[in-house]
Chains A and B, each alone.
Chain A
């Protein structure tokens, strides 16, 4: 268990070292990813300029949802966002090289092309989280602290599973990358708002079937001590880690099946 993590650190560390050689360019990218993702929070503020509440949700509560989803998503993006370039790896046949090495193929894809600049996105989420927590005056219990600590990694695993499943599409067509965006970037956009605003068919699809509702909506209800406007069972608020494990298992199975379908480029 430990050895792959050490290897991951070694592989990623080497890439980070070479990225930090170009300091100005790195800082520009960091700032850029901060700025662009921050627009989404400006949108939240614009909405609440017009209404005091969105359904039963105040701006502070939505800020908390926004921050938690953004942080989970940004960390996922940092860890495996380079899966967006996976179709390119398939197209030019460079995936072959990973397959002749004695390590899991997904592990190797994830450990290559790491981009530290994506950290900018997470910084923006942390900033909003600080604002939300400062404004909300939550009553902190052991349970709530534990929830906050557990829900972020669970959210990362859920987003990551969705991303991996989306990336598998590249084994069939290398032009469909944007399809995956609907669930990754789209999933983040969705999870930044309380899911009771969406129509029930969309919720069933994007919050339960694709379990993005478990990234932050349900855990946040518990953090806020809020009554679920959808009236769903309370145990769902604690289900995120379980959902994450299931999602990861499904993603791993699909990946393994898809690799067997790999056709490789160039005769």
Chain B
């Protein structure tokens, strides 16, 4: 569905007001990956890492400086209009609906923009009205919708023409827990039931953990991880934490095979690798233990470690 080979995007930035110096910034540097039809994958990275730039090259908004992109068999920047019929896109922070018009009018206009036949449009809209529960605000002007309602409208707008591939840029940003869950359920539904390929950029690791099997991580323009979430946990998650509650506050423990990561009063966090039993015995020998627990690193912790450069 998506083939990316050695993709690069450079921006020329000029600094200074009068004598403007020319700097070349590589927003995306030599990225390669493939996405199969029907995958739902997450694209993760800190702000300014090159996530949006990549998506914009995949959708034909930006012309790459180097490398090759093929989406649904097309070169996006050369065949933008043709590609646009087959993909859907939603940018969580931009409004693609008509601000002053009732929601339903936006759908009507999009139907004509995408040339969706009337009967297909009706069935398609009917389905989204049910799945996303649009009926209560279908005739409300977009500017009066809550963020959650608007995002549901935006998702419908992105899907009305039944694209094979959906790009989502921060779809859950700013949403409350309930609204987030609704969006996630929807994405699972279109992916599992309809076989739509979904590429999702997000800051929200909850999105990733609940939705994606595969994860791409980009940092400073380079792809630093491409693989299943399970593998990621295995690779970066081998370190576990032993959290011990001692009788009284003591200086950081010195035990073989573990490093103290944090101390808070009588509680200490020891990072270790390998079997926990040996370490627990060593700690118990060194001091009086009141309680202990072992924590697996969560995805947030793992991503933090990846960004921090622990490869």
Binding site for B on A (CB under 8 A): 6-7, 10-11, 14-15, 17-18, 93-94, 96-97, 99-104, 260, 262-264, 266-267
Contact = CB atoms under 8 A, between A and B. Distances in A.
Interface string B47-59: 1111111001001
A267 B114 contact: no
B62 A97 contact: no
Given A262-B61, A263-B62, A264-B61, A103 B94 contact: no
Contact of A100 (B11, B89, B95, B115): B89
Given A14-B98, A262-B61, A263-B11, A102 B109 contact: no
B81 to A, nearest CB: 5
A18 B62 contact: no
A261 to B, nearest CB: 8
Nearest to A22: B100
Given A94-B95, A104-B81, A264-B52, 19 more contacts: A10-B109, A14-B109, A15-B98, A18-B101, A94-B94, A96-B56, A99-B61, A99-B84, A100-B167, A102-B84, A102-B85, A102-B115, A260-B77, A262-B63, A263-B11, A263-B62, A264-B56, A267-B50, A267-B52
Given A18-B100, A267-B48, A101 B112 contact: no
Contacts of A266: 52, 93
B139 to A, nearest CB: 14
Closest 3 CB pairs of A and B: A102-B84, A18-B100, A100-B89
Interface in B273-292: none
Interface of B: 11, 27, 47-53, 56, 59-63, 77, 80-82, 84-85, 87, 89, 91, 93-96, 98, 100-101, 105, 109, 112-115, 141, 167
B112 A10 contact: yes
A267 B61 contact: no
A12 to B, nearest CB: 11
Nearest to A112: B98
Contact of B61 (A11, A18, A100, A102): A100
Contact of A99 (B11, B48, B59, B141): B59
B94 A97 contact: yes
A101 B101 CA distance: 19
Nearest to A94: B94
A238 B84 CA distance: 42
A101 B53 CA distance: 18
B62 to A, nearest CB: 6
Given A10-B109, A262-B61, A101 B84 contact: yes
B127 to A, nearest CB: 21
Among A10, A18, A101, A260, the one with the most B-chain Cβ atoms within 10 Å of its Cβ is A101
A103 B91 contact: no
B84 A267 contact: no
Contacts of B50: 267
A176 to B, nearest CB: 14
Given A264-B56, A266-B52, A267-B47, A103 B113 contact: yes
Contacts of B60: 99-100
B81 A102 contact: yes
B63 A100 contact: no
